[in-house]
Structure 1
């Protein structure tokens, strides 16, 4: 079984104009013979959220390395604890969302999400969105440091055939996508990833995200995906 993965993050025009850093972060790498991917979106109202998001994706990778076959819920518990230690008593200054996934060399997908963004999965050829419908006010975002376990979305799924996979998006992308076209978007990323090298795919993603077609878009944008080739 072969896996391919891709990811990219670009700063939004609004942050570029205001001379602010990219508050998103992503990570794609090999872990224990499988592939890990994560994206995170630091809250715009927090002074150090760009650091918090970077810590989140790196610590999520570390948790998967350390706990290997643990359930997603246990991995999230470990991730939250390590992130809080890394950020210290002023952790609210680092507030961030976090979406991560790991696919083993046998096709077992473990994933979790806390906060805004979107998780899309295809398993046995069937596409679905795992992210729950957003409730409450749009500006109320769950964060890695504050959200209780009942606010996490965790799942373990078998990727059983070519084209199966997982796609993680921050809300700078997901908020602009048409719900009825999410499956087409997923397939387009899969087909492009299956044809290009990792470096070429990252360049293509960065170009597409920087030239985002939605008028007046301003948010940072990050994407990471893992797909089964055969």
Structure 2
């Protein structure tokens, strides 16, 4: 049988001016409990398509530093999907470990009572406090200084059995990782505060210390809409119109991408934006 020749997969798309650093994994990191350079996950469910990726930024690749972002995509029983993204604080030595532990605890500690909605503000606070306590417990087990695990955390829980195609999404966060809805080609922030805050600020709340600072919102994911959870490694370049339009063009029309295509799209490059990047996309279909 003749060997089938296929073209090479193209390099990630450059939007605007070319970045200074190469887009390559670089040296292996020697950091304790470091994860892989890249993580890719997804699911095709009844009425929902999910794609998620977490990629080490070019700066961390160049310096051999660990990816400080993490993510999780899991079912909660048979009726709901839980999504989590976390961004370890760059100034903390074990924040990559903290981000992974925050995403793990977000699933393990989720209370069934929250599946019916938020009766009081204390419900999300109690949940994020349980996540923080779990992080502290793991830090002590691993002989890690708790302050060095600081990380943001954004969690979304989606009703996978929504009626007439529309699904309620409950979203909670501590820190500056965020959520957006792509509706009819337009990106809308799920947290209204994000439209009024400068993205250049490096100060942010973080777990485990700031569990009581949890912010809460809800949105409805309808057929044709896209819910995006992401760290600031994606949110910051999305402040530029060219990036927002390109992502809307890729993700707002037609069939959701395959896993391989999603990773290529997600790996686009923009000058001056070389941070770790994590996102989970959920399409209502």
TM range (shorter): 0.7 to 0.9
TM-score normalised by structure 1 residue count: 0.81
2:181·2:188 contact (CA, 8 Å) conserved in 1? yes
| CA distance 1:130–1:92, shift in 2 (3 Å) | same
Which consecutive residues of structure 2, in runs of 5 or more, have no partner in the other structure? 1-45
1:7·1:225 contact (CA, 8 Å) conserved in 2? yes
What number of residue pairs does the alignment pair up? 221
Correspondence 1:152 to 2:208: no
Other-structure match for 2:47: 2
Tell me the SS of whatever aligns to 1:64. coil
1:103·1:226 contact (CA, 8 Å) conserved in 2? no
Other-structure match for 1:25: 70
Structure 2: how far apart are the matches of 1:179 and 1:188? 16
Other-structure match for 2:60: 15
1:85 to 132, 137, 141: 137
Question: Any residues of structure 2 matched to 1:98-109 within 5 Å, and which?
Answer: 98-104=153-159, 105-106=161-162, 107-109=167-169
User: Greater Rg, structure 1 or structure 2?
Assistant: 2
Which consecutive residues of structure 1, in runs of 5 or more, have no partner in the other structure? none
1:116 to 159, 172, 176: 176
1:55 to 101, 117, 120: 101
TM-score normalised by structure 2 residue count: 0.67
2:230·2:278 contact (CA, 8 Å) conserved in 1? yes
CA RMSD, 1 decimal: 3.0
Question: Any residues of structure 2 matched to 1:151-190 within 5 Å, and which?
Answer: 151-159=213-221, 161-178=222-239, 182=244, 185=247, 188-190=250-252
| CA distance 1:2–1:56, shift in 2 (3 Å) | same
Larger RCO of the pair (alpha carbons < 8 Å, separation 6+): 1
